[in-house]
Amino acid sequence: MSPVRKAAKHLKQYLLLYAILAMIIGLAIGYPLRSSIKAHHEEMKDLIVFFAILTIYPSMIQLRIGELGRAATRVKAIIIGVISVFVVSPILAMFFAKFFAVKQLSLGFVLTNIVPASSASIGYVLLTGGSIELATVLALISLFGAFAAIPGYMSLYAKLATIRVPMGPIMESLGITLLVPLIAGQLTRYLIIHYRARRKIATGAEGYKCLKDGVSVHGLGVRELYEALKSVEECIIAKLEEEVKPHLSLWTMITMIILIALLVANKAGMIIGKPMIAVKIFTLQAVILGILLSLVTFTDKLLGLRYEEHMSVAFLSATKNASVAAAIAVMALGPVAALPAALIPVIQAPIAIGYVQAAPRIRSLFGAEQGKRVAEELARARA
C-alpha cells in the first residue's frame, strides 16, 4: 500500500478524533490570541474562505456529471431524496433554530442544514453497500439545487425570524464557494481522468488490459465495436479514479481538519465564555439527524425502496458539507454564523458512523438478504 493510501486510510479511520483534536487546538490557540484575531478579522476571514474552498474542490473533481442521465430509472428514490434534502431538513433546521438567542447563530444553523451533501456521504454509502450511482445523482441534484435552495430558504427564514439577511453577498459567496470550485473541479477531472483515459486508449496498453479483463471485440460490427470501446474507456476511467481517490480524500480530510481549527479559533472566546452554545448546537443537530434518519427509514420502507436505494437516500439527506456553509457564513453573514459549521461535523460524523454500524439490521428490515455479508464487508473496511 502506498504512503498516500496509508495516510488516507489512517485519517479516515480516526477522522472524528482528529476533528476533536482540531477543536482543542483551535481553542488553545484562539482564546489567548482572541484580541489579535479580532484585530485581523479580514485576514482570518480570507484564510477561512481559502481553506473552505480547498476542502470543497476535491469533491468537485470526483463528481460525475454524466450520472445525471441515469436518474430516470430511480424516480421514486430520487423524489424521496429531494423532499428530504430540500423540504424536510430545512424545515427541521428553521424550527430548531429558534432555540438560539443569538440571531447570527440561528442563521448559521439553518445555513449548515441546507447546503449540499458532503463528499463523505458517498463514502458512507459505499461502506454500507448502497447504490453509488443513485448517491452520485442525489449529490449532483443536491449541489445544483443549492443555488436556489440556499438564497430561498435564507430569505424565508429571515422573514420569519425578522432578521436582515444580505442576499447580494449570499449570492456572491455561492458563486465563489460552489460555482468556481465546480468548474475548476470538472476541468481538473477532464485533465487527470478523461484526457488521460483517451491517451491511454491511444497508446493501446491500458486498453488491452481492459479487453483482457472481459471486454472482447472479436467479430463485432461497427455499433458493437463502439459499445466495446466505450466499455474500455469506462474501465480505464474507473482505474484512474481509483488511482487519484486516495490523494483527493487525503487532501479533503487535511484541509477539513485545518478549517475546523481555524473556525473554532476564530470564535474561541465565545465558545469558552459560553460553552452551552456548543452543547446546544451538538444537541439540536443530533436531534435533527435522528428525526431525519428515522423519517427517511420509515418512508423508504413504507414506499418499498430497496435497501441499496435507501442507504443512498439516507446518507445524502442527512450529511451536509459544512465547508460550504462555513465559507458562505464568513463571507456573507459574519464569523458567529460560521460557528455551527465548525461544530456540526463533530456530531454529524459519529451519528453517520453509527448508522453505518446498524447496516446489517437495516438490511434485514428492508427484507433483503441477511446482514452477514455487510458485516463482513464492514469488518474488512475497518481492517
Tell me what pLDDT residue 382 has.
Answer: 52
Tell me what pLDDT residue 89 has.
Answer: 93
What is the secondary structure of 291-321 as a DSSP string?
Answer: HHHHHHHHHHHHTT--HHHHHHHHHHHH---
Q: Residue 91 pLDDT more than 90? A: yes
Cell numbers 450520472 label which residue?
67
Q: Residue 221 pLDDT more than 50? A: no
Beta-carbon count within 10 A of 369 CB: 10
Tell me what pLDDT residue 380 has.
Answer: 54
How remote is the C-alpha of 224 from its chain's centroid?
A: 38
- Contact by Cβ (8 Å): 316, 135: yes
Q: Residue 327 pLDDT more than 50? A: yes
Tell me what pLDDT residue 156 has.
Answer: 92
How remote is the C-alpha of 201 from its chain's centroid?
A: 32
What is the mean pLDDT of the segment spanning 35-64? Answer: 83
Q: Sign of the C-alpha dihedral, residues 302, 303, 308, 309? A: negative
Between 369 and 252, the higher pLDDT residue: 252
What is the mean pLDDT of the segment spanning 47-73? Answer: 76
Q: What is the pLDDT of residues 128-172, one digit of tens each?
A: 878 877 888 888 888 889 889 999 999 999 888 888 877 788 888
Q: Residue 369 pLDDT more than 50? A: no
Between 178 and 29, the higher pLDDT residue: 29
Tell me what pLDDT residue 153 has.
Answer: 92
pLDDT bin (cut points 50, 70, 90) of residue 10 is confident
Between 315 and 256, the higher pLDDT residue: 315
373-377: list long-range contacts, CB under 8 Å, 24+ apart: 373/129, 374/128, 374/129, 377/127, 377/129
Between 296 and 350, the higher pLDDT residue: 296
Q: What is the pLDDT of residues 225-246, one digit of tens each?
A: 445 556 666 777 777 777 888 8
Distance CA 338, CA 108 (A): 6
How remote is the C-alpha of 154 from its chain's centroid?
A: 20
Tell me what pLDDT residue 285 has.
Answer: 94
Mean pLDDT lowest for which of 3-7, 19-23, 58-62, 269-273?
58-62
Distance CA 276, CA 282 (A): 10
Report the share of the chain in percent with pLDDT over 70: 85
- Contact by Cβ (8 Å): 289, 318: yes
What is the mean pLDDT of the segment spanning 251-264? Answer: 85
Average pLDDT score over the chain: 81
Mean pLDDT lowest for which of 2-16, 57-71, 75-89, 222-236?
222-236
CATH of domain 3-187+252-382: 1.20.1530.20
Name the residue type at position 63.
L
- Number of residues assigned to the chain: 383
